[in-house]
């Protein structure tokens, strides 16, 4: 009996120890994934290469693939990203009395993927946003200081650079457009600071948007490979060992993985970093159409039979779509052979294109399918909700107003048309300043909109057709 009691006591101690360890580990592994900008012209690594280090035929013919070779290669191309910054505490009575605000260090962690032997690394914009110092640790425990080469917040992609005396292992880009639903993939990263972690799953959806309104530019690859905080910026790898996505987000109510993860497709990520290196900023090809994704309810509302595709309800008068002959009421069915079922399909593919690129669009007009070649142009317009469509002024407009640069009102927002006309403001009038900042192009307006607090007062100065400057204040 005594031995039994002693055994039970020992067992209890062991169980308590296990529970305590679990609690300790979980509390210790809580990590914050934080969020990214410069220029270089070297883009030799941006081509898609055939991976000769993996036996493709043997893997592709396997019903349940053996990822050993792929995993062993991939973990050496994925790095740990450490983002150091400082944040200020809330203003206190001490700050009032002594004139100082305490600043606390803040550490964010994530992942990145080496994409060239000379040290270029791709990661998420949000992993290194607001960083003061970025450190990269490779899989062989070497640590490097990194510089930010460039970033794109819209697509959540950033490019870093480290200097190494040795050539580094790197991942090669695959074609994310050819990836198939049901295809096996690996997610490689550093969740919870657990370095060189590999998980497997399948592609469960493509062109996924997490915005229920469908108005954003999101177009993710969705997988069921386990991804957690710290995986952001890591690699999504196909069976051939190619990089087909940058792991970016999870959809969860708990903060941890619950079944789905999302990656920026490699074709978008590759195009972003190519633009950063060549132009210093991302170039977007502009189709110039607005519309809605089709489904059964929308088809009933429009009195059409199609439940898939992108229905066009508006066209910019100076866009490539208009010049090519696309009309309101047309339904986009595919672009360059890529099926378009919803807006995220359309936007996701266009995010891989640049101004002057030509795309082949199949549209349905009535019961006829038409193939139309469209030359994408540069976006020269912006929708400013208080006014409407604003556009960079052309040469003729600038000459008439004796201006070198400027932005004009192209089309009023229907909600505000009567207001502006009541005060003598018409289409064609020129936006001179917003919040005291001189406006030379729509880029200036875009930056003001992005940096503005929603509740801030807006001051707008407009040069009317009589060359009189009018000022308007909105709260």
Catalytic entry in 80, 111, 125, 156: 156
**String of DSSP letters for 92-118:** -HHHHHH----EEEEEEEEEEEE-STT
How many whole angstroms separate alpha carbon 124 and alpha carbon 152? 9
Rounded to the nearest angstrom, the gap between the alpha carbon of residue 320 and the centroid of all alpha carbons in its chain is 24
Nearest to 76 by CA among 162, 200, 146, 171: 171
What 307-311 contacts at long range (C-beta under 8 Å, 24+ apart), as own/partner pairs, is: 308/333, 308/341, 308/342, 309/333, 309/340, 309/341, 309/364, 310/340, 310/342, 310/343, 310/345, 310/346
3-state secondary structure of 194: coil
- Specify whether 17 is catalytic: no
The values of phi and psi at residue 272, to 5°, are -60, -50
- Specify whether 156 is catalytic: yes
| Residue 419, Ramachandran bin (φ over 0: left; ψ between -120 and 50: alpha; else beta) | alpha
Q: Half-sphere exposure of 423 toward its Cβ, with a 13 Å CA cutoff?
A: 17
Longest dimension (CA), the chain: 105
How many whole angstroms separate alpha carbon 444 and alpha carbon 446? 5
How many whole angstroms separate alpha carbon 278 and alpha carbon 99? 45
- Specify whether 306 is catalytic: no
Catalytic entry in 80, 85, 116, 126: 126
How many whole angstroms separate alpha carbon 288 and alpha carbon 361? 13
CB atoms within 10 A of CB 150: 24
Nearest to 31 by CA among 188, 241, 255, 290: 255
Catalytic entry in 204, 207, 232, 266: 232
3-state secondary structure of 148: strand
Q: What residues are labeled active site?
A: 126, 156, 232
């Amino acid at each position: 009996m005594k031995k039994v009691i002693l055994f039970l006591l020992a067992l209890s101690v062991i169980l308590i120890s296990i529970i305590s360890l679990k609690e300790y580990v979980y509390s210790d592994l809580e990590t914050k994934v934080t969020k990214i900008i410069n220029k270089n012209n070297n883009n030799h690594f941006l081509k898609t290469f055939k991976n000769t280090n993996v036996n493709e035929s043997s893997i592709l013919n396997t019903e349940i693939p053996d990822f050993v070779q792929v995993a062993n290669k991939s973990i050496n191309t994925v790095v740990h990203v450490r983002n150091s910054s400082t944040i200020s505490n809330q203003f206190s009575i001490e700050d009032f009395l002594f004139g100082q605000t305490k600043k606390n260090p803040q550490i964010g962690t994530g992942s990145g993927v080496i994409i060239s032997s000379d040290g270029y690394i791709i990661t998420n914009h949000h992993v290194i946003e607001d960083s003061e110092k970025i450190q990269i640790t490779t899989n062989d425990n070497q640590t490097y200081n990194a510089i930010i080469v460039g970033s794109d917040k819209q697509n959540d992609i950033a490019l870093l650079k480290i200097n190494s005396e040795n050539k580094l292992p790197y991942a090669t880009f695959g074609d994310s457009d050819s990836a198939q639903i049901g295809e096996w993939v690996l997610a490689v990263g550093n969740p919870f600071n657990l370095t060189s972690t590999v998980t497997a799953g399948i592609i469960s959806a493509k062109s996924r948007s997490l915005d229920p309104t469908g108005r954003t530019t999101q177009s993710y690859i969705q997988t069921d490979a386990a991804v957690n905080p710290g995986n952001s910026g890591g690699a999504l790898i196909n069976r051939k060992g190619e990089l087909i996505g940058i792991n970016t987000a999870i959809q969860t109510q708990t903060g941890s993985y619950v079944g789905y993860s999302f990656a920026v497709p490699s074709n978008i990520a590759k195009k972003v970093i190519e633009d950063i290196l060549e132009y210093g900023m991302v170039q977007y090809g502009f189709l110039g159409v607005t519309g809605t994704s089709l489904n059964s309810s929308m088809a009933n509302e429009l009195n059409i039979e199609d439940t898939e595709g992108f229905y066009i309800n508006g066209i910019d008068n100076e866009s490539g779509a208009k010049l090519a002959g696309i009309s309101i009421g047309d339904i986009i069915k595919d672009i360059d052979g890529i099926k378009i079922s919803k807006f995220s399909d359309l936007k996701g593919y266009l995010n891989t294109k640049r101004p002057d690129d030509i795309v082949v669009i199949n549209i349905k007009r009535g019961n006829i399918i038409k193939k139309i070649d469209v030359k994408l142009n540069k976006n020269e317009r912006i929708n400013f909700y208080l006014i409407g469509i604003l556009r960079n002024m052309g040469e003729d407009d600038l000459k008439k107003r004796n201006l070198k640069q400027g932005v004009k009102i192209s089309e009023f927002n229907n909600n505000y048309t009567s207001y502006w006309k009541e005060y003598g403001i018409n289409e064609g009038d020129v936006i001179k300043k917003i919040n005291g900042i001189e406006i030379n192009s729509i880029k200036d307006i875009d930056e003001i909109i992005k940096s503005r607090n929603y509740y801030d007062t807006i001051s707008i100065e407009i040069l009317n057709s009589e060359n009189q400057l009018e000022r308007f204040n909105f709260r």
